[in-house]
Chain A
Amino acid sequence: MFPVETRELTKRYGEHLAVDRVSLTVKSGEIYGFLGPNGAGKTTTLRMLLGLIRPTSGTVRMLGQAPGRLGEIGALIEGPAFYPYLSGRENLRVLARYAGIPARRVEIVLEMVDLAERGKDRYGTYSLGMKQRLGVAAALLKDPRLLILDEPTNGLDPAGMADMRALIRRLGAAGSTVVISSHLLGEVQQICDRVGVISQGRLTIESTAADLRGGARLRVVADPIDAAAARARALLGEDRVRVDGAGLDLDVPHDRAAWINAELVDAGIAVSELGVRERELEDVFLEMTHVG
């Protein structure tokens, strides 16, 4: 049994196909990044997982159960939403009542998101970052086995973002399964075990972040660049050499750097820079979603 499993999940609004036959699987204990450009169908998919939106077709199983049975699932969907006339603490107490959770859990989650000091203040007076942290606290109320966080670092300052990443890592290390939707790809790259990319309603790929990024490449800046490219192609083959501006990206292991350097110098080419270039998740994302 997977914590999250969808089959051919589809949502149609009239003529608009918001989510198109999405079949995704989240494994137990992993941190799963759910990526996609604005309007790709991320939040609609997450809402269907939680039973807030009914699918047009397809199936959802969450911890082996139909959507809407959320006893061991915590979620923050599309930004925090609370009652502005209640304090942060009172908001969580109201939610704890709905969930049948003892009030002492409220204090624990307020500590976890570093809001205990401001818990007595009215929610309406909170900054965006504090609201976001309260949203995460609400998601943690049930000490969930499965946590779904939609853009959890929105509005947080760099320190807050680092705290949030550390919290998510701790939850993952403690055995919770976490699904994160985020547009901050560097953040996803840092904490996620696997990634699913959705574009125009369709899940285009599901893989580990490392596999998506592929292996590191060798970056060479040389003069003249045409001669360097010709020599590199002769050594490595046509498809492993790409000219990028004033340099070359070579698809070779980084321990061949000295050999490449010697070959280019022997051919009378001046090498001014040689280094390892790691492919960022953002590059992969942009290629897959045809953005930029």
Chain B
Amino acid sequence: MWASTLAELTKLVRRPANWLLLAVALALSLTFTYLVPYAGADGPTADRGVASTFPDHLVGNSIGGWPVFAGAIALILGVLAAGGEYGWGTWKTVLTQGPSRLSVYTGKLAAIGLAILVMVVTLFAAGAVTSATIAAAEGAAMRWPSAGDLAVGVGAGWLIAMMWAMLGVVLAVGLRGVAMPIGLGLVWLMAVQNLLTAVAAPLLDWVAEAQKGLPGPNAGSLVAALGSSPQTPGVAELVGSGQAAAVVAAYLVVFGLFGGLMLRRRDIL
């Protein structure tokens, strides 16, 4: 599996699209978490204030995007990593070198896991630099989260981002491609989740109840519990942080296992 992980890492690192995804995630995160609140701190409807961009909010600010928009980036990363093999027909090239399907698959998941960690840590690092810069410019005191809080934040961000990446992988393996999995994944993440939350749940009790078992609302609850602003799309504390983490982890495992099962059982055409 180690050999497969190294090979997969090489492919991930050398693929320009993955760096573009990281750049987009970084740009979105910095723009909507720091730049816009800072620029609009004196605006008529501003309710977050410039203080929300200071270092003591680093954890919540760095993971607030993962339930929706940064989650979409993670989903695309997962689809590209698994679906590209179908698009280019490279599964046969890899598998005829001798590794088992499961060893390639676990290597792929390990490499994606590392890439997601890099993405999460990068958002934290960029957020730290940006928040420190703003605090210094405003002459505010630098109060940083504890190392423990930072570790929990990185862990929660990784858990949520990895779950979305696994959804991307399972869609790519199930649909044997790239375009349709990205399309369907984004429709779920950006549209269906919001419709359920904003339209269906207020009208139907059973939808409101069922939401507590869905990946998006649990991801939103987890980041809300760790300080993300409820003004951020997808962030709302519907369930407790313990349940939220457990549900997100369960989805991650189920997506990963289901993708592996499909890859193992189905023909490579």
A contact set with B: CB distance below 8 Å: 47, 50-54, 68-71, 73-75, 77-86, 90, 93-100, 135, 138-139, 141-142
Residues of A within 8 A of B98 (CB): 69-71, 73, 98-100, 142
Q: How far is the CA of A54 from the CA of B269 in the complex (A)?
A: 11
Q: How far is the CA of A86 from the CA of B13 in the complex (A)?
A: 11
Closest 5 CB pairs of A and B: A81-B89, A97-B7, A99-B97, A52-B268, A75-B96
Given contacts A47-B268, A53-B267, A86-B14, contact A81 B96 (CB under 8 A): no
Residues of B within 8 A of A141 (CB): 97
Given contacts A70-B98, A100-B3, contact A94 B11 (CB under 8 A): yes
Q: Shortest beta-carbon distance, A42 to chain B, in Å?
A: 15
Q: Contact: A50 with B100, CB < 8 Å?
A: no
Q: Contact: B90 with A83, CB < 8 Å?
A: yes
Interface centre among B10, B11, B93, B97 (most CB of A within 10 A): B97
Q: How far is the CA of A76 from the CA of B41 in the complex (A)?
A: 62
A-B contact pairs, 20 of them (CB 8 A): A47-B92, A47-B268, A50-B96, A52-B92, A52-B96, A52-B268, A54-B267, A70-B96, A71-B98, A82-B88, A82-B90, A83-B15, A85-B15, A90-B14, A94-B11, A95-B7, A95-B94, A97-B3, A99-B99, A138-B97
Q: How large is the interface on B (under 10, 10 to 19, 20 to 34, 35 or more residues)?
A: 20 to 34
Q: How far is the CA of A39 from the CA of B98 in the complex (A)?
A: 27
Q: Contact: B89 with A52, CB < 8 Å?
A: no
Q: Contact: A70 with B93, CB < 8 Å?
A: no
Interface residues in B74-130 by Cβ distance below 8 A to A read 84, 88-100, 104
Q: Shortest beta-carbon distance, B97 to chain A, in Å?
A: 4
Q: Contact: B96 with A68, CB < 8 Å?
A: no
Q: Contact: B11 with A86, CB < 8 Å?
A: yes
Interface majority SS on A: helix, strand, loop or mixed? Answer: loop
Residues of A within 8 A of B268 (CB): 47, 52-53
Number of A-B contacts (CB under 8 A): 90
Q: How far is the CA of A82 from the CA of B93 in the complex (A)?
A: 7
Q: Contact: A98 with B10, CB < 8 Å?
A: no
Q: How far is the CA of A75 from the CA of B96 in the complex (A)?
A: 6
Q: How far is the CA of A154 from the CA of B72 in the complex (A)?
A: 41
Residues of B within 8 A of A52 (CB): 91-92, 95-96, 267-268
Q: How far is the CA of A281 from the CA of B104 in the complex (A)?
A: 42
At the interface, yes or no: B207 with Cβ under 8 Å from chain A? no
Q: Shortest beta-carbon distance, B65 to chain A, in Å?
A: 27
Residues of B within 8 A of A77 (CB): 92, 96
Q: Shortest beta-carbon distance, B4 to chain A, in Å?
A: 6
Residues of A within 8 A of B90 (CB): 81-83
Interface residues in B7-32 by Cβ distance below 8 A to A read 7, 10-11, 14-16
Residues of B within 8 A of A83 (CB): 11, 15, 84, 88, 90
Q: How far is the CA of A99 from the CA of B90 in the complex (A)?
A: 15
Q: Contact: A81 with B97, CB < 8 Å?
A: no
Beyond A52-B267, A100-B98, 19 additional pairs, beta carbon < 8 A: A47-B92, A50-B96, A52-B95, A52-B96, A53-B268, A53-B269, A54-B267, A70-B98, A77-B96, A78-B89, A79-B89, A82-B88, A82-B90, A85-B14, A95-B94, A95-B97, A98-B97, A138-B93, A138-B97
Q: Contact: B100 with A68, CB < 8 Å?
A: yes
Q: Shortest beta-carbon distance, B19 to chain A, in Å?
A: 11
Residues of B within 8 A of A75 (CB): 96
At the interface, yes or no: B6 with Cβ under 8 Å from chain A? yes
Residues of A within 8 A of B269 (CB): 53
Residues of A within 8 A of B94 (CB): 95, 98
Q: Shortest beta-carbon distance, A62 to chain B, in Å?
A: 12
Residues of B within 8 A of A73 (CB): 96, 98
When C-beta atoms are compared, the residue in chain A nearest to B10 turns out to be A94
Q: Shortest beta-carbon distance, B20 to chain A, in Å?
A: 12
Q: How far is the CA of A80 from the CA of B7 in the complex (A)?
A: 19
Residues of A within 8 A of B4 (CB): 97-98
Q: How far is the CA of A3 from the CA of B98 in the complex (A)?
A: 16
Q: Shortest beta-carbon distance, B240 to chain A, in Å?
A: 43
Q: How far is the CA of A100 from the CA of B104 in the complex (A)?
A: 13
Q: How far is the CA of A84 from the CA of B88 in the complex (A)?
A: 8
Residues of A within 8 A of B95 (CB): 50-52, 70
Q: Contact: A81 with B93, CB < 8 Å?
A: yes
Q: How far is the CA of A99 from the CA of B97 in the complex (A)?
A: 5
Q: Contact: B14 with A81, CB < 8 Å?
A: no
Q: Shortest beta-carbon distance, A147 to chain B, in Å?
A: 11
When C-beta atoms are compared, the residue in chain B nearest to A85 turns out to be B15
Interface centre among B6, B96, B268 (most CB of A within 10 A): B96
